[in-house]
A and B are shown apart, each in its own frame.
Chain A
Amino acid sequence: MPRRNGTTTEPRGSALYEVLKGIDFERRELVDKTRGVGLFDLVKDKAGAYKCYACTLCERTCPVDCIEIDYCPEFDELPFDVEAERAAALLTLPGESCGAGAACVMGEQPAGFVPEIDMKLFDPVISGLRAGTGLVEALHTTQEAYGYLPRVALENIAEEAHLPFSRVFGVASFYSQFRLTPVGKHVIHVCMGTACHVAGAPLVAEAFAQELDIPVGSTTPDLLFTLETVNCIGACALAPAVRIGDEVTHARVTPQSARKLVRQLRKKEA
């Protein structure tokens, strides 16, 4: 590749120019933006296929929101081959057997877990989506039904809402309340709010982790317990507070009483 030495007539950055010479650009005017001079180029490879595979990184990092990845089937004027793109996006994600791949983005399933997806439970989600509830609401309903967000449910939501799977998965993984792996019977939420922190919540979380022998944010192999921390459950006067399940809140928990709680629950289950 010729180096830029002052004698050549090629434009600056000629090395890059060489690479890009054989590539067509498509220029699309950006509308609805304050600075109306922006242009959006999509790079094609030599075979004429678009190189973009909708990883949404550019969309996510653009500070002024002038990129939008949108290859919704409703807009056929978009340059994507929707089906091919969707298939390609799905290929970058692991297959149905979630526990198999080490690089599984959906998180590792607890050992001994056999996913059982009752699609009947999914009907309210679909009817909700048809009635115009938002995506976040649909995910909440799904999680209420299954306790977590199974991959097949996310795919169905994507199909029903005419959204790319990547978008649904993106939203599901963005919010900390959504879980992509199944939970144990007892979900232990250790509050990590400020008041709980100064009252010793980190020690309490650690005591739970030791007693259950799992790190925070995971589930025991027997699917009995899931240990999670939450930012604040708003029970600051009871610090450190621990909520087990959706109902019972334990006040002023100490590392010792935390261990006791686990032992009591184990005994009850045994």
Chain B
Amino acid sequence: MATRSTSERARKTRITKALKAAFRPELATGGDDTVKIRVCAGSTCNATGRAAVSDALTKELAKRGLSDKVEVVLTGCHGLCQEGPIAVVHPKGVFYPRLKAKDMAEIVETSVVGDDVVERLLYRDPATGEAVTLEKDVPFYAGQTRIVRAVNGTIDPTSVDDYLSRGGYAALAAVLAAGDPEAVIDEVESSGLRGRGGAGFPTGTKWRYCRANPGEKHYIIANGDEGDPGAFMDRAILEDNPHSLVEGMLIGAFAIGADEGYVYVRHEYPLAVSRLRIALEQARERGLLGDDILGTGWSFDLKINQGAGAFVCGESTALTASIEGHRGMPRGKHIRTVAHGLWQQPTDLNNVETFANVPWIVSNGADAFAALGTETSKGTKIFSLTGKSRNSGLVEVPMGATLREVIFDVGGGMQDGREFKAVQLGGPSGGCLPADLLDTPIDFENLTKYGSMMGSGGMVVVDDATCMVDFAKFFFEFTAQESCGKCVPCRVGTQRVLEILERICAGDGTEADVELLERLSDDIIEGSLCQLGGSAPNPVLTTLRYFRDEVMAHVVEKRCPAKVCRPLIKYVIEEDACTGCHVCLGACPTQAISGERKQAHVIDQKLCIKCDTCRQVCKFDAIPVVDAQPALVEGRQQ
């Protein structure tokens, strides 16, 4: 007994030493207390001109001979994507959004050399108009609880040392030192962590099943095939903190006894793929991945597998088929992937975000994780808040936060003072929830109860300018196109639903159509082979449930209340408001607008293609959208 505990202690010391040896502090960028400028290099900031900003900054620092003293760190996404490019000047933490290359000299002059802030460049709270100086005081960040995204935005995602300097891979070392896979599974199970990909299956339980299933080999796969339009939290983890995924997968692999794993990433995320590739290389170099991890003799390796643009590959069995080099078509799940998955071997498949939660749970304990959230859903969830809310970006809140808290407190309410109409959760598999349900706490059960679902966490806010029928049609265009065609209910059903919705949007729908929609939706849910079909009708069912009046307006009155469906609207120029400025006339792509300068213009309805250009360019709001058949509308209303 004594010898065993001695060898155990020796093993622990060995692992601790190996972890310490893997860390090279001189290469890490250091904490918040030193002078440095963190420039966000997330996909969105990159798209809005980050490269020009950081180049200008580096040049300016070189010009002043400050290159050695002031570090420029290209970090992962800060979350407030619509304000990009973002830079934060430390040690104070002054937050500068929407930067331009020409602003950088002034920032260096005032905030780096001097100890002041550039007032005109500060972030202004859209609600109050007041300037906010420090990053932590921005309301968007203040309302969040960040576990998974705690260090994103402060570390350089291409540096393993940055991750190690924040206690990275300590959870892995602890797990390996304890050497008990069952204990890891117990810990994850008691934390109440559930799959973040949508279905919400308890992760610990999945690991237990997978471990118990016999096979020549066990596989572990991270599902980063984030196909939901409007969701990008997995991309953010891969781009901003790829090592948290790698560590989570290593812990998972140790727990289920896997020695090979895959990360399935969308091909549409090139930056995520390249950063993950760097992370894997660095982890291998430092002995954190590959053979003999941290000197324990245990080996595990990860491969990247790129998808090729198929939404259905988010489905576990389709994903494994895709890795095997087949068409990404799912199979019936009478045998689960934990028993027969990749190459017919027991396979554990979790979402990227699920894995990224694991190191935190191991480091902080299951109880700390379970303390967050609701009765059935524990921990936090990242949502990608987009659409017509004032702030767009990634929001991490504890489970059980209400929709109102996320959209109005963190999201800052609606753009341009417009009215909140609905929030769409869960992408094409989810549904739209109306304003009445804004105070609903967000957890798996609640969302399902109201006909939506958690999905991967897309949250699209829409205002009164969005037609709910058109919105449902949009999702069906997506699912009909993405249906793999294997089973009839989904292949034919989604196409038929789409046709009915097209009819309704064109003003040709009947009341029988609405009834048929409901029946058909039930059949698709009932008969489909996988969850793509099984959840595809959710958008249309929730639209019928919460926005039936709007559907009936299309069917009975032949009008589109949101003025979106083209056959039911027309553009006219108001004589009184038009100044005859010729702007719309020049912008019209079909020369449908005519009129003399300084006299009211007229739109030729035969030529008009309703492209909305004239309304957008008009500075006098003189081009309203009206019902195409007002007589019919009035007649019906009488």
Contacts and interface: CB of A to CB of B under 8 A. Distances in A.
24 contacts: A64-B331, A134-B305, A134-B324, A136-B308, A136-B325, A174-B329, A175-B309, A176-B309, A177-B308, A178-B308, A178-B309, A194-B427, A195-B387, A195-B392, A196-B229, A197-B229, A207-B589, A210-B611, A231-B229, A232-B228, A238-B48, A254-B613, A255-B589, A255-B611
Contacts, number: 175
A232 B231 contact: yes
Interface stretch (A43-51, A107-115, A198-206): A198-206
A64 B334 contact: yes
B387 A194 contact: yes
Contact of A198 (B235, B387, B613): B387
A250 B48 CA distance: 8
Interface string B420-437: 000010010000000000
B86 to A, nearest CB: 11
A224 interface: no
Contacts of A195: 229-230, 386-387, 392, 460
Interface in A229-245: 230-239, 241
Nearest to B428: A194
Interface string B482-513: 10111110000000000000000000000000
A63 B325 contact: no
B589 A197 contact: no
B424 A194 contact: yes
B599 interface: no
B21 interface: no
B47 A194 contact: no
A92 interface: no
Interface of B: 43-44, 46-48, 81-82, 84, 226-232, 235, 267-270, 305-311, 322-329, 331-332, 334-335, 384, 386-388, 392-393, 424, 427, 458, 460, 462, 466, 471, 474-475, 478, 482, 484-488, 529, 587, 589, 611-613, 616-617
Given A34-B335, A194-B230, A194-B424, A259 B82 contact: no
A232 B229 contact: yes
Given A203-B612, A251-B47, A176 B229 contact: no
A65 interface: yes
Contacts of B471: 197-198
B41 to A, nearest CB: 14
Nearest to A248: B47
A7 B307 CA distance: 61
Given A194-B458, A232-B231, A234-B268, 11 more contacts: A60-B327, A135-B326, A171-B327, A174-B484, A177-B267, A194-B387, A195-B230, A200-B612, A207-B611, A232-B230, A246-B270
Given A60-B329, A177-B308, A177-B309, A203 B322 contact: no
Interface in A167-208: 170-171, 174-178, 192-200, 203, 206-207
Categorize the interface residue count of chain A: 35 or more
Contacts of A10: none
Contact of B267 (A140, A171, A235, A239): A140
A256 B229 contact: no
Contacts of A237: 44, 81-82, 84, 386, 392-393
Contacts of A200: 612
B308 A175 contact: yes
Contact of A238 (B47, B226, B227, B613): B47
Given A194-B474, A207-B611, A230 B487 contact: no
A194 B529 CA distance: 25
B365 to A, nearest CB: 33
A61 B331 CA distance: 10
Given A234-B43, A235-B44, A237-B386, A64 B232 contact: no
Residue from A192, A195, A230, A234 with most neighbouring chain B CB atoms (10 Å)? A234
Given A198-B462, A238-B47, A231 B322 contact: no
B360 to A, nearest CB: 24
A197 B308 contact: no
A249 B466 CA distance: 25
A241 B81 CA distance: 13
B611 A206 contact: yes
Contacts of A125: none
A197 B305 contact: no
Contacts of B227: 231-232
B152 to A, nearest CB: 15
A26 interface: no
Given A230-B268, A255-B611, A174 B486 contact: no
A235 B305 contact: no
A194 B229 contact: yes
Contacts of A170: 327
A179 to B, nearest CB: 11
Contact of B616 (A139, A197, A241, A254): A254
A137 interface: yes
A235 B328 contact: no
A235 B328 CA distance: 25
Of A175, A196, A203, A236, most buried by chain B (CB within 10 Å of CB) is A236
B230 A238 contact: no
4 closest A-B pairs by beta carbon, nearest first, are: A135-B325, A175-B308, A249-B47, A237-B81
